[in-house]
C-alpha cells in the first residue's frame, strides 16, 4: 500500500487538537502516522494530494436523509443509498421514516438495522411520532427506541394536532427521547409549492408564507417548555424561525435545529425558470431569510446542516413544476438522480 500525504487541509474533527486548523496529514500503510505543518517525505512513491481550500474529516453525519427502503426501492435501496453517502464523505445517516410502510413500530426499526449491517455507512433509524404518520395516535416510540431508533419524527409531515404533540413530548421525556418537528401549519401553507412573496406573485403561483413555519415553531416551543422536554426543528427556512429559536435557547428551552444545505445556497429567485430541481420543502425563501440562516449558523442558533437527501425517479422530476416531486440536492455528487 502506497503512502499518502494530504497537504494544507482544514481538519474537521472535534476530538482532535487540530480541529479547525490547516495541516498536513501523512498516511502510512493505511493509518495516520503524522499530522502537522509542512510535513516532508523522502519516499518518492508517496502520493501527494493538495487539499488547499478543502476540508478533511473522519466522516460526516447527516441528520436528514431519505432512502426508498422499505417499499420504495425503485427510488433508492439501502445498498445504493449507502454507496452514495460514502462517496460524499458521510459515515453515518439518520433515516427519515418517509417509507412504505413508515417506520412506526419496532419491526421496521429492526428491519432497517439488520438490513444496514456490513454497509460502509452506519444507519440510525428515526421512528414515527404517530402511527402511520397520520397524526392521530402515538406510535410505539419506547419500543422503537429499545430496538434502535434514535429519535422520532413524522418526516415531512407536521404533527398538526397540538394535543398529540404535547403527549409525544411528555412521553418521550420519560425515557430521554427526542422529538424532531417539521414545522408547517398546513392550514396556512395550503398546497402552495413556493415561498409567498414577490417571486410567487411574478410567476403567478400560490405562495407558502414563512408564517406557516413560524406559527408551528412558536406552538411547539411553548409545548416543549410546558412539558420540560427536548425538541429539535428540522430544516428551518426563515429569518423569523431563527429569531424564535435564538430567543428560546436564551430562555433555557431545550431546543435545537438544523437547516438544509440548499436553503443556504439558493433562494426563491432561482425558481424564475420553473426548474423543478429547486422545488423543495420547505420552499426556498428570500435573500433576507438566507442571510439570517447563515447568521444563525455562525452564532450557534442553528446546530447542524443537513442534506435532506430525497431520491426520485427522473420521470417524477421532468414534468411541470406544479406536479413534480420534491427533490433535494444529493448527499454527494454521485449516485442516482435526486
Could you tell me which of 34, 57, 56 has the C-alpha nearest to residue 46?
Answer: 34
Using 50, 70 and 90 to split pLDDT, how confident is the model at 89?
A: very high
Domain 58-323 carries which CATH code? 3.20.20.140
- Tens digit of each residue's pLDDT (9 = 90 or more) over 179-210: 999 999 999 999 999 999 999 999 999 999 99
pLDDT of 214-244, one tens digit each? 999 999 999 999 999 999 999 999 999 999 9
Span between the terminal Cα atoms of the chain, in Å: 36
Instruction: Quote the pLDDT of residue 334.
Output: 37
Task: Work out the average pLDDT over 241-261.
Answer: 98
- 96-128 tens-digit pLDDT: 999 999 999 999 999 999 988 888 899 999 999
Rounded to 10 degrees, what is the CA torsion of 30, 35, 37, 39? -30
Strands 207-208 and 304-306: unpaired
Q: pLDDT grade, residue 44 (50/70/90)?
A: confident
In tens, the pLDDT along 287-319 reads: 999 999 999 999 999 999 999 998 876 766 666
State residue 331's pLDDT score: 45
What DSSP character marks residue 71?
T
Q: Please report, for residues 6, 16, 274, 311, the alpha-carbon distance to residue 119 in angstroms, rounded to integers and kept in the order given.
A: 26, 26, 38, 19
For residue 335 the three cell numbers come to 449516485
Determine the average pLDDT of the residues in 162-174.
98
Helix (H, G, I), strand (E, B) or coil at 41: coil
Bridge-partner residues for 49, per DSSP? Answer: 6
Note the pLDDT of residue 316: 63
CA distances to 38, 64, 251, 297 from 255, rounded to whole Å, are: 42, 17, 10, 15
Comparing C-alpha atoms, which of 305, 307, 311 is closest to residue 326? 311
Please give the share of the chain, as a percent, with pLDDT higher than 70.
Answer: 92
User: CA-to-CA distance for 252 and 316, rounded, in angstroms?
Assistant: 44
Is residue 177's pLDDT more than 80? Answer: yes
In this prediction, residue 332 carries a pLDDT of 43
pTM of the predicted structure, to 2 decimals: 0.89
pLDDT over 90 at 21, yes or no: yes
Amino acid at each position: 500500500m502506497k503512502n499518502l500525504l494530504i497537504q494544507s487541509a482544514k481538519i474537521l474533527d472535534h476530538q482532535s487538537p487540530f480541529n479547525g486548523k490547516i495541516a498536513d496529514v501523512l498516511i502510512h500503510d493505511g493509518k495516520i502516522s503524522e499530522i502537522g505543518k509542512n510535513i516532508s517525505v523522502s519516499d518518492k512513491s508517496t502520493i501527494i494530494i493538495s487539499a488547499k481550500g478543502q476540508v478533511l474529516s473522519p466522516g460526516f453525519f447527516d441528520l436528514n436523509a431519505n432512502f426508498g427502503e422499505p417499499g420504495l426501492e425503485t427510488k433508492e435501496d439501502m445498498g445504493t443509498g449507502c454507496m452514495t453517502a460514502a462517496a460524499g464523505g458521510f459515515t453515518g445517516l439518520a433515516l427519515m421514516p418517509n417509507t412504505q410502510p413508515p417506520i412506526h413500530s419496532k419491526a421496521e426499526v429492526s428491519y432497517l438495522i439488520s438490513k444496514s449491517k456490513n454497509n460502509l455507512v452506519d444507519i440510525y433509524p428515526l421512528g414515527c411520532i404517530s402511527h402511520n404518520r397520520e397524526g392521530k395516535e402515538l406510535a410505539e416510540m419506547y419500543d422503537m427506541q429499545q430496538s434502535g431508533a434514535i429519535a422520532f419524527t413524522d418526516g415531512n409531515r407536521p404533527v398538526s394536532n397540538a394535543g398529540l404533540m404535547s403527549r409525544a413530548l411528555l412521553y418521550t421525556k420519560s425515557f430521554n427521547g427526542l422529538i424532531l418537528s417539521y414545522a408547517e401549519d398546513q392550514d396556512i401553507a395550503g398546497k402552495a409549492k413556493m415561498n409567498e412573496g414577490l417571486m410567487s406573485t411574478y410567476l403567478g403561483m400560490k405562495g407558502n408564507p414563512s408564517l406557516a413555519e413560524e406559527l408551528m415553531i412558536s406552538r411547539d416551543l411553548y409545548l416543549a417548555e410546558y412539558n420540560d422536554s427536548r425538541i429539535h426543528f428540522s430544516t428551518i427556512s426563515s429569518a423569523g424561525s431563527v429569531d424564535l429559536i435564538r430567543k428560546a435557547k436564551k430562555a433555557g428551552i431545550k431546543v435545537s435545529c438544523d437547516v438544509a444545505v440548499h436553503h443556504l445556497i439558493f433562494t426563491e429567485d432561482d425558481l424564475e425558470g420553473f426548474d423543478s430541481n429547486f422545488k423543495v420543502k420547505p420552499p426556498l425563501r428570500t435573500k433576507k431569510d438566507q442571510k439570517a440562516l447563515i447568521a444563525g449558523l455562525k452564532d450557534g442558533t442553528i446546530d447542524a446542516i443537513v442534506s435532506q437527501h430525497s431520491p426520485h425517479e427522473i420521470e417524477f422530476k421532468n414534468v411541470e413544476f406544479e406536479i413534480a416531486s420534491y427533490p433535494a440536492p444529493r448527499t454527494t455528487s454521485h449516485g442516482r438522480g435526486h
